[in-house]
Amino acid sequence: MVNIKINGIDCQAPKGSTILEACRLAGIRIPTLCYLKDINAIGACRICVVEVKGARSLVASCVYPINEGMEIFTSTPKVIESRKTTLELLLSNHNKSCLSCVRSGNCELQALCEEYGVDSTRFDGAVTPADRDDSAAHMYRDNSKCISCRRCVAACEKTQGIGVIGANERGFATEINCAFDMPLAETACVSCGQCIAVCPTGALSEKDDTQKVLDAIADPEKYVVVQAAPAVRASLGEAFGYPIGTNVEGKMIAALRRLGFDKVFDTNFSADLTIMEEGTEFIGRVQNGGVLPMITSCSPGWIRYCENYFPEFIPNLSSCKSPQQMFGAVVKTYYAEKMGIDPKNIVSVSVMPCTAKKFELGRDDQSAAGVPDVDISITTRELARMIKKAGIMFNQLPDEKADSPLGTGTGAAVIFGATGGVMEAALRTAVWTLEGKKDNSPIEFTEVRGVEGIKEATYNVAGMEVKVAIASGLANAKALLKKVQAGEANYHFIEVMGCPGGCVNGGGQIIQPADVRNNIDLRAERAKVLYDIDAANTLRFSHENPDVQALYKEYFGEPNSHKAHEILHTSYKAQKLYK
Q: Please, are residues 512 and 522 in contact by the beta-carbon 8 Å criterion?
A: yes
Q: Residue 146: which CATH number?
A: 3.30.70.20
Tell me, yes or no, whether 257 and 392 share the same domain: yes
For residue 18, the 8-state DSSP code is B
The string of pLDDT tens digits covering residues 74-90 is 999 999 999 999 999 99
Q: Residue 253: which CATH number?
A: 3.40.50.1780
Tell me, yes or no, whether 202 and 216 share the same domain: no
Identity of residue 38 = D
List Cα–Cα distances, 343 to 336, 517, 541, in angstroms: 6, 42, 31
Tell me, yes or no, whether 144 and 232 share the same domain: no
Q: How far apart are CA 307 and CA 498, in angstroms?
A: 13
Say if 447 falls within a structural domain. yes
Cα-based torsion angle of the residue sequence 182, 322, 461, 414 in order, rounded to the nearest 10 degrees = 110
Identity of residue 406 = L
Tell me, yes or no, whether 142 and 236 share the same domain: no
Q: How far apart are CA 480 and CA 485, in angstroms?
A: 9
Say if 81 falls within a structural domain. no
Tell me, yes or no, whether 122 and 68 share the same domain: no
Tell me, yes or no, whether 199 and 220 share the same domain: no
Say if 557 falls within a structural domain. yes
Domain limits for position 39: 2-75
Tell me, yes or no, whether 255 and 344 share the same domain: yes
Residue 579: the pLDDT is 42
Tell me, yes or no, whether 298 and 184 share the same domain: no
Q: Residue 18: which CATH number?
A: 3.10.20.740
Say if 219 falls within a structural domain. yes
Tell me, yes or no, whether 288 and 182 share the same domain: no
Of 75, 110, 135, the position where a domain reaches its end is 75
Tell me the helices (H) and strands (E) count for the chain, helix number first.
20, 18
Residue 577: the pLDDT is 65
Tell me, yes or no, whether 362 and 305 share the same domain: yes
The string of pLDDT tens digits covering residues 321-362 is 999 999 999 999 999 999 999 999 999 999 999 999 999 999
Tell me, yes or no, whether 60 and 111 share the same domain: no
pLDDT below 70 — which residues of the chain? 577-579
Residue 261, sorted as left (phi over 0), alpha (psi -120 to 50) or beta, turns out to be beta
List Cα–Cα distances, 155 to 43, 108, 451, in angstroms: 16, 17, 17
Length of the chain: 579
Tell me, yes or no, whether 396 and 541 share the same domain: yes
Say if 260 falls within a structural domain. yes
What is the longest distance spanned by two Cα atoms in the chain? Answer: 80
Of 158, 175, 206, the position where a domain reaches its end is 206
For residue 468, the 8-state DSSP code is E
For residue 71, the 8-state DSSP code is E
Say if 576 falls within a structural domain. no
For residue 201, the 8-state DSSP code is S
User: Strand, coil or helix: what is 460?
Assistant: strand
- Structural domain tally of the chain? 3
Say if 480 falls within a structural domain. yes
Of 206, 238, 257, the position where a domain reaches its end is 206
Say if 89 falls within a structural domain. no
Give Cβ neighbours of residue 70 (< 8 Å, ≥ 6 apart).
2, 4, 5, 19, 52, 53
